[in-house]
Each structure stands twice: as structure tokens, then as C-alpha cells.
Amino acid sequence: MKTANGLADQEIFDAHLASQSASGAPEWWLDLKRESWRRFRKLPMPMRKDENWRFASLGGVKLDGYELGDSSPPEIADKEVLKRSENVRQRAGRLVFSNDRLMDSEAISEEWAKKGVIWLPLEQAVREHEDLLRKHFMAQPIKLGSEKFSELHGALCSAGSFLYVPKGVEVDLPLVAFHWTDRNNAALFPHTLLIADDMAKVTLVDFFSAHDRSSRNFICGVNDLYAGPGARVTYISAQDWGRDSLAFHLNSTQAFKDAFITSLNVNVGGRQARNESHSQVLGEGAHTQMQSLTVATGKQEFDQRTLQTHFKGRSVSDLLYKNALLDDARTIFSGLIKVEEDAQQTDAYQTNRNLLLSPTAESNSLPGLEILANDVKCSHGATSGQIDDEQLHYMRARGIPEPVAKQLLVFGFFEDILGKLENEEIAENLRTLIRSQF
């Protein structure tokens, strides 16, 4: 096993390319990677004066001291990993990765396969579905500051899930992907590509976790969601990386006419975790919901950058990001609603709520609007505050001890999102993850 100095080293990329080539990756795919690598090398690291990095800690944003995750086999036995990946029992299919290596591929059931649903590990999809991949893989603009890391992902990613749901097909059980790591200093590049054609319906869930809570890793994940006309897509991710990790999760969604996309990110892991979500409303009648729940503890920093762009009117986007902050944790929410010229009758909302549970925690809010059309309903709100004393008093007056009352109120803070999830099994998983942080 060779330890590299940094992810920007040419030999890391060369080794990755060689291994991709050896595993039968087609030439067009290798070319894409070469292009990404070239652009990655040219782009600068983020700088203090970049508006997209305002309030972010740049000191820890480094590429040094990591090696590729799949450069050596996982230490934890396959069986154990699979056992830990059993928390969603009602599912249509499952993929399990450890250190970016595929551990298990549970094919989609016959019923859906017959209807043309494709559910594959990314590497296999690259070999078998060139047209779809060429059209959709990393095809969306990165606008929120992590251009360089996005290119790094393009150059080095291999693990991930590919889901295609054809016109009119409704998959009523969720597809589930697990990305694990059990090795310190491993760099991971999990990818998720979801394409729902006209009137299709599907739910996909990603779990990101380190076996060891103290693990140090570099993660740069990308997930792209495409909802064709009338499609209904639900995407949920739960992020529980090791507490010494630097994690990027870059999300883009495209909602075409009358499509409905809900995405929910639950974040508890990492030393410094940055989420970028770009929602593009591309058709009239489209509706996107962007939700996030974060529990920030210790000295964690969660950095959330969002963009809701309305290219077409008569559409809705609705964002709700809720952060509970403990200890010395920091959060940054920077959101922008952009209504393009002539996207009339747009409804766009953006709300950031920060619950400060410690006097040394810090929340930063940058809720932005850029509105270039006049017949719109747009609003944003940001609040930061403590547990409501009146509510606490009321509960205590009913005989509930203060710590219990506080906990009830904090859990209640997340319930307006969790309580509305259709899939109770997933909701319960997310509840457990959130509660284990207190």
C-alpha cells in the first residue's frame, strides 16, 4: 500500500485511471476523467474573498494526506458491513460500498426490471448505458463554489449508484445505497445519478457513514437528480462521516414541467461538511422542495450553500433548512433564490432556522434573493434563537423536568420535516440518527 501526499498528485490520478482501465471501463469514460483532471489542476483552491466561501473556515480545506479509498481492501468483513446495511428492510434494491469498493449489489426485483427500471453500480452502468451516462453524468453547472472539488470528483469517482426509471413507471419501494468507510485517510467519491422519465415515480436513499466515529476521511460526493415532465422524485441522504473528516456533497436537481422533487439531507457527521444544492426549475408547474436537518456538535462546521433558479414561471420552490447547534459548533447557511426574467408567477420560499443550544455555538445566515420578474411570490426568513422560554415554562408547569422538556422541544424542532415523510421506516432511521447526537 502506497501513501500519497495529496489528492492533487498526478500519480494518484494515473493509478486510478490504470485501475479503471483494467476493470474494463470504456475509453470515452476515461477521456471524461482526463478532462476533469485537467480542469481540476487548473482551477484554484477557494480563497477568502470568494463570496461563495464567506464565513467558511478555509484552513482545513486541504487535499493533503489522503489516499484513494479503493486502493486496498476493506478491513471489516463483508458480512458485518452487510449486516449494518439492513436498516431499510422494505426496499426495491440495494447497493453497498465500502471505501468506494462495491460490496454487494442487490438487483432490482424482476417486477421493475421487466418494466425497464435500471438499478446498477455506476461502473457497470458506464459499460452498459453509455447514452444515458453521456447525457446526464456531471452535466449540470456547479455554481456554488466547489467547481474544483466537482472536477476532482469527476476525475476520481468510480463508486456509486445509477437509477433510471422509464416513462410512466412508478417504483413504490425505495432504492437504497450505503457508502461506508473503515479506513483512516481514505478519500471517497460516492456518486448518485437518478433519472426519472416522464410521469415516473421513485425514491432513493443514500446512507453515508464511517464505522469508526473518529475517522479522518476526505469525501467528495455528487448526486444529480433529473425529474422529467410530471415525474415525482424523492431523494433522502443521511450523512454520518467520521468526526475528523472533510466532506463535500454537491447536489443538483432538474425539475421539468409539472415535476415534483423533494430532497432531504440529514447531516450529523464530519469535522467540516459542506453541502451545495442547486435546484433548477426548468418547466412550468414544476415544484421542488429542498430540506435539510443538521445537528452540529463539538467543533463541527456545517456549510450549506443553496441556489433555487427559476427559469420558467408558474412554478414553486420551497426550501427549509433547520440546524440545531451545540457546544462550539458553527453553521453557515447561504441561500439564493434567483427568478430569471419572464419567469412570472413563480412562488419561491426559503427559510433557515437555527436553534442555538449553547452560548458558544455560532450560526451564520445569508439568505439571498435575486428577482428579475415582478409577478412573483418570494420570501425568505432566517431566525436564530434559543428554546422558547414560554414553551419550556409551559411544559415544566405540567410537571415535565427541564432536561426532558428541552429534549422534547429539540426533537420537536425536526419533526415538522420528519413527521411528514411518507416512509415511516426511513423516518425512524433518521430520528435515531439525530437523537443519537444528544
Cell reading at 292: 435539510
| Residue closer to another protein, measured from CB, 74 or 313 | 313
Interacting residue with another protein among 92, 122, 376, 433 (CB under 8 A): 376
Q: With CB under 8 A, what is the number of residues at the site for another protein?
A: 38
| Minimum separation from the CB atom of position 383 to another protein (A) | 5
Three-state secondary structure call for residue 196: strand
Q: Does 379 bind another protein (CB under 8 A)?
A: yes
Task: Kindly report the length of the chain.
Answer: 438
Q: Does 356 bind another protein (CB under 8 A)?
A: yes
Q: Which stretch binds another protein (CB under 8 A): 109-117, 244-252, 266-274, 374-382?
A: 374-382
Q: Does 372 bind another protein (CB under 8 A)?
A: yes
Q: Does 361 bind another protein (CB under 8 A)?
A: yes
Interacting residue with another protein among 43, 102, 320, 369 (CB under 8 A): 369
- Counting beta carbons within 10 angstroms of the beta carbon of residue 274, is it exposed (0 to 12), middle (13 to 18) or buried (19 or more)? buried
Query: What does 139-158 look like in DSSP terms, one character per residue?
Result: -SPP-SS-HHHHHHHHHH--
Contacts with another protein, 188-227, as mask; x by CB under 8 A: ----------------------------------------
Pairing of strands 218-227, 377-385: unpaired
Instruction: Please state, in angstroms and rounded to a whole number, the distance separating the CA atoms of residues 86 and 329.
Output: 31
Q: Does 173 bind another protein (CB under 8 A)?
A: no
Contacts with another protein, 20-59, as mask; x by CB under 8 A: -----------------------------xxx--xx----
Instruction: Please state, in angstroms and rounded to a whole number, the distance separating the CA atoms of residues 285 and 313.
Output: 8
Cell reading at 227: 425529474
Q: Does 127 bind another protein (CB under 8 A)?
A: no
Q: Does 364 bind another protein (CB under 8 A)?
A: yes
Query: What does 331-359 look like in DSSP terms, one character per residue?
Result: EEEEEEEEE-TT--S-EEEEEEEEEE-ST
Q: Does 371 bind another protein (CB under 8 A)?
A: yes
- Counting beta carbons within 10 angstroms of the beta carbon of residue 60, is it exposed (0 to 12), middle (13 to 18) or buried (19 or more)? exposed
Q: Does 424 bind another protein (CB under 8 A)?
A: no
Interacting residue with another protein among 383, 402, 420, 424 (CB under 8 A): 383
| Residue closer to another protein, measured from CB, 254 or 315 | 315
Helices (H), 57-114: 78-84, 110-114
| Residue closer to another protein, measured from CB, 181 or 364 | 364
Q: Is the dihedral of CA 94, 320, 138, 36 positive or negative?
A: negative
| Minimum separation from the CB atom of position 384 to another protein (A) | 4
- Binding residues for another protein restricted to 320-349, rule: CB under 8 A: 341-342, 344
Instruction: Please state, in angstroms and rounded to a whole number, the distance separating the CA atoms of residues 152 and 40.
Output: 6
Q: Does 373 bind another protein (CB under 8 A)?
A: yes
DSSP letter (8 states) at residue 70:
G
Interacting residue with another protein among 212, 362, 425, 428 (CB under 8 A): 362
Q: Does 377 bind another protein (CB under 8 A)?
A: yes
Residues 374, 378, 383: CA angle, nearest 5 degrees: 150
Q: Which residues bind another protein (CB under 8 A)?
A: 49-51, 54-55, 341-342, 344, 354, 356, 359-386
